[in-house]
Amino acid sequence: MQTIFITGTDTDAGKTYVAVALLQGLKALGYRTVAQKPVAAGVNGAGFNTDALQLQQHATEQLSYEMVNPYCLTDAVAPHLAAAKARLSIEPAVLTKELQKLQAVDADVALVEGAGGWLLPLDDHSTMADWVAEQQLPVLLVVGMKLGCLNHALLTVREIERSGLKLVGWVANCIDPDMAYQQENINYLQQQLTAPCLGVLPYQSEPQLNTSLASAFIKQLRN
């Protein structure tokens, strides 16, 4: 199984949107998939995180909600703050145990979606990036295309590379339909980032089935 960690340039960059697009495309190409959002903050009326529910719905191998989202925190704030309010602690050892459960499922690809941006705090001393580095997971970066994304993307890539992890590629997710010079910004990132752009997702409410992103993703994993 290939396990990939999906991070974003910021909160609302579209990590789940891209993950769903990948899951849909991979399924259409005949790949078996599992997905996990280890830490999520913010729940619906039933007490579930909607991002995690989407991952659960679109993966080919159906897992329990608890396996998809081990840490489900009520308040839609930074997870370490939500955990503190709930008198919980986010334990890296628990994240590792849950990841191992995910990787034990018979599937071809596992997508593990982060929360917020790359340096998301788990507590006062560690970040999600620290845990990803410990697990040595390859990383896919979602760049939310909006004003300021160049700085966010370059800083995030610098930190990923500083962690010694492989950046398998990045996706330009067009979250702002009115962004000025959008294509010029994408061109700049293509010039500056050594990892390839695996796709450009247009602004739309729901990802449309398109296997090109999944095909580019699989091709890059094989390199």
> Average pLDDT of 145-154?
98
Question: What Å distances lie between residue 124 and 56, 73, 84, 131, CA to CA?
Answer: 30, 17, 10, 14
197 in a labelled binding site: no
What pTM did the predictor assign? 0.97
Residue 105, pLDDT score: 98
Active site residues: 37
Residue 190, pLDDT score: 98
Residue 205, pLDDT score: 83
Band of the pLDDT at 207, cuts 50, 70, 90? confident
Q: Residue 117's domain spans which residues?
A: 2-222
What is the domain-level CATH number for residue 32? 3.40.50.300
Question: How far apart are the C-alpha atoms of 136 and 134, rounded to whole Å?
Answer: 5
108 in a labelled binding site: no
174 in a labelled binding site: yes
Contact 181, 145 (CB under 8 A): no
149 in a labelled binding site: no
pLDDT digits (tens, 9 = 90+) for 5-19: 999 999 999 999 999
Contact 201, 171 (CB under 8 A): yes
219 in a labelled binding site: no
For the record, the structure tokens of 215 come out as 């095909």
Band of the pLDDT at 94, cuts 50, 70, 90? very high
CB atoms within 10 A of CB 68: 28
pLDDT digits (tens, 9 = 90+) for 178-190: 999 999 999 999 9
What is the number of domains present in the chain?
1
Q: Cβ-count burial of 217 within 10 angstroms (0-12 exposed, 13-18 middle, 19+ buried)?
A: buried
Phi-psi region of 184 (alpha: psi -120 to 50; beta: other; left: phi over 0): alpha
Residue 208, pLDDT score: 83
pLDDT digits (tens, 9 = 90+) for 22-67: 999 999 999 999 999 999 999 999 999 999 999 999 999 999 999 9
For the record, the structure tokens of 156 come out as 């995030």
Q: Which of 128, 137, 140, 166 is nearest to 18 (CA)?
A: 140
Band of the pLDDT at 206, cuts 50, 70, 90? confident
Residue 85, pLDDT score: 95
Residue 182, pLDDT score: 98
65 in a labelled binding site: no
> Average pLDDT of 124-141?
97
84 in a labelled binding site: no
Residue 223, pLDDT score: 83
